[in-house]
């Protein structure tokens, strides 16, 4: 008898999961994708040798554009100006035990053409999360910290991709060029 009860329970859960999944598919829900980018090749420069943010950015770009090694081969160059993870104590006990931490991810970048023309000026993205801390659960809190950093990093990468999608690659017009090329109507 207990086997039948477990089988019914599993069937019920599977049915519920199927209905929930079908409901999401029917409403048009889909995971956020990399937006279409207005270029075909990008070079990433200025990152530290083992930057997790650079690795995730490279992974997200691979399906959309070609990531090249040198700026001379690229349509655009993404230059990292700052890529930091910071951790600071926000609250502690009278005995000096840490009770709350603030985690921050800071990324500053600019986007240029290979010739050096600025397409997106210096842009700073910074996210922070507060996290309670207990020395009794140091291992679990270390895992929580890693997960929070990963989530903030994914959010920053998504923000960078949205900014790259809005980059204007068209050559800037000279101030006098538009006035000179537009004929003036004759006055009567």
Q: Give the Å distances, CA to CA, from 138 to 26, 89, 90, 133, 144.
A: 43, 15, 17, 8, 10
| Residue 159 covered by a domain | yes
Neighbours of 145 (CB within 10 A): 17
In a domain, 183, yes or no: no
Output the average pLDDT for the chain: 83
Express each pLDDT in 142-178 by its tens digit: 999 999 999 999 999 999 999 999 988 875 644 444 4
**Residue 13 located in a structural domain:** no
CB 143 within 8 A of CB 119: no
> What per-residue confidence (pLDDT) applies to 178?
43
pLDDT per residue as tens digits for the range 40-53: 999 999 999 999 99
User: Do the domain assignments include residue 9?
Assistant: no
Residue 55 lies in a domain: yes
- Given a cut of 60, whether residue 25 has pLDDT beyond it is no
Is residue 176 in some structural domain? no
Q: What are the pLDDT digits (tens) for 108-150? A: 999 999 999 999 999 999 999 999 998 889 899 999 999 999 9
pLDDT in tens, 66-106: 999 999 999 999 999 999 999 999 998 898 889 999 999 99
CATH of the domain at 79: 3.30.160.150
Domain assignment of residue 90, yes or no: yes
| Cβ atoms < 10 Å from Cβ of 41 | 14
More confident residue, 91 or 188: 91
Question: What does the pLDDT read at residue 31?
Answer: 58
Q: Is residue 7 part of a domain?
A: no
**Residue range(s) defining the domain that contains residue 159:** 36-167
**Cα distance between residue 41 and residue 64, in whole Å:** 9
């Amino acid at each position: 008898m207990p086997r039948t009860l477990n089988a019914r329970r599993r069937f019920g859960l599977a049915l519920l999961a199927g209905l929930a999944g079908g409901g999401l598919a029917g409403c048009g829900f889909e995971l956020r994708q990399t937006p279409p980018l207005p270029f075909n090749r990008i070079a990433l420069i200025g990152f530290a040798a083992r930057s997790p943010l650079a690795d995730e950015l490279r992974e997200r770009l691979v399906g959309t554009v070609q990531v090249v090694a040198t700026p001379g081969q690229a349509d655009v160059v993404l230059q990292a100006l700052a890529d930091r993870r910071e951790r600071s104590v926000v609250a502690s006990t009278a005995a000096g035990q840490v009770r709350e931490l603030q985690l921050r991810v800071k990324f500053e970048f600019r986007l240029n053409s290979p010739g050096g023309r600025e397409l997106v000026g210096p842009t700073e993205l910074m996210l922070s999360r507060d996290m309670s801390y207990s020395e009794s659960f140091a291992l679990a809190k270390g895992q929580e910290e890693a997960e929070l950093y990963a989530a903030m990093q994914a959010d920053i990468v998504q923000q960078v991709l949205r900014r790259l999608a809005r980059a204007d690659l068209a050559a800037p017009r000279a101030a006098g060029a538009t006035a000179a090329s537009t004929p003036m109507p004759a006055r009567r």
